[in-house]
A = this chain, B = another copy of it.
Amino acid sequence: MTTDATRAAATIEEVAAAAGVSRSTVSRVVNGSTAVSPSALEAVRRAIEELNYVPNRAARSLASRQTYAIALVVPEDTTRFFGDPFFASIVSGINARLNRSDYVLNLFIASDDRGDKTTSYLRSGAVDGAIIVSHHTSDTFIDRIAAAVPVVYGGRPVRERERDYYVDVDNVRGGRDATTYLIARGHRRIGTIAGPLTMPAGVDRLEGYRVALAAAGLAEDVVEEGGFTADGGADAMRRILARGPHPDALFIASDLMARGALSVIAAAGLRVPEDIAIVGFDDSPVATSVTPQLTTMRQPSFDQGEHMASLLLDLLAGKHPRHVTILETELIERASA
């Protein structure tokens, strides 16, 4: 704490006095109203500069019922949030859009506090709206947030309702295309390491895998859940190898899980793609940092973040945007399959 910190901040009243105008005029200047004479404008600007004036946010939002802040709520623990490049892209995308607006982003890693403090914070009018990504079937506090402020979901909501707004990628199709690629390469015993089945993304990619196999008349091979983490992917891979003859190809529903699986495969003395071919999902930086580099389904996470922010901003501006936006995935061929 600096000694400066104790010096009380200037108020609009003081600025008005210094500029020789009324509160209203200062407010007009601060809020960019055109109905101010050049001389008053100049006087106010100088006073603001001199007094180092910044409008008090609490007072402003109490009066205007706007905060110009939006929340990003991530119901994950800190480790997973930071460990997965997916979130980095999402945040970058959101910020990219917000930088072209007056809104600031507040980040909440919700499961760190069991959701309670975060929930009441959001319900107390601290933000104008919220973006919620990565939510699980068990995250019931989400509904309480959605009852209080406009919400945009990243990914299909767990219990989708008609009035929900969300931006998703076509996960079923992505899972299907990845698996179909493996089939086209001649593989017949194709397993999968799925994401958590408590999350729509996990469920949908698994469904895509099944759709592709069914379409080709192939039987489903091993299915293991990997929790969207590198460690989870490694564990899943160990279980797969432990159960006997391994599949000759694997669709792994995230690059991070693929990285975990890759290390287990290497440790077992098997080669990729010769012994086991692998297609990942994300095309995050992880995909090119492993050996062999991953053939993977690219999902446009940065775009998804930007879209979500745009959608929420439109909502807050009173517009009526489309409820659902689905972005496409794309297969990126590298060395793992």
Contacts and interface: CB of A to CB of B under 8 A. Distances in A.
B95 A78 contact: yes
Interface of A: 1-5, 9, 54-62, 67, 69, 78-79, 81-83, 85, 87-88, 91-92, 95, 98-99, 102, 104-109, 112-113, 117-118, 120-121, 123-126, 129, 146-151, 161, 163-165, 230, 285, 289, 315
Contacts of A104: 108, 113, 117-118, 121
A146 B83 CA distance: 31
A57 B5 contact: no
Contacts of A148: 4-5, 9, 54
A177 B87 CA distance: 36
B1 A151 contact: yes
Given A5-B146, A121-B57, A83 B88 contact: yes
Contacts of A55: 124
Nearest to A82: B88
A120 B58 contact: no
B147 A4 contact: yes
Q: How many copies of this chain?
A: 2
B95 A109 contact: yes
A91 B78 contact: yes
Contacts of A164: 2
B99 A112 contact: yes
Given A151-B1, A163-B1, A126 B88 contact: no
Contacts of A124: 54-57, 60
5 contacts: A78-B92, A78-B95, A82-B85, A83-B285, A104-B118
B88 A79 contact: yes
B147 A5 contact: yes
Contact of A120 (B54, B87, B92, B151): B54
Contacts of A149: 5
Nearest to A86: B82
A55 B58 CA distance: 13
A30 to B, nearest CB: 11
B95 A5 contact: no
B62 A58 contact: yes
A146 B113 contact: no
A80 B150 CA distance: 31
A107 B112 CA distance: 14
Contact of A109 (B4, B85, B91, B230): B91
A3 B151 CA distance: 11
A86 to B, nearest CB: 10
Which 4 pairs from chain A and chain B are nearest by CB?
Answer: A82-B88, A1-B150, A107-B107, A57-B124
Nearest to A6: B150
Nearest to A120: B54
A19 to B, nearest CB: 20
Given A2-B146, A55-B124, 15 more contacts: A1-B150, A1-B315, A2-B147, A2-B163, A4-B147, A4-B148, A5-B147, A57-B126, A58-B67, A58-B125, A78-B88, A81-B88, A83-B285, A91-B109, A95-B109
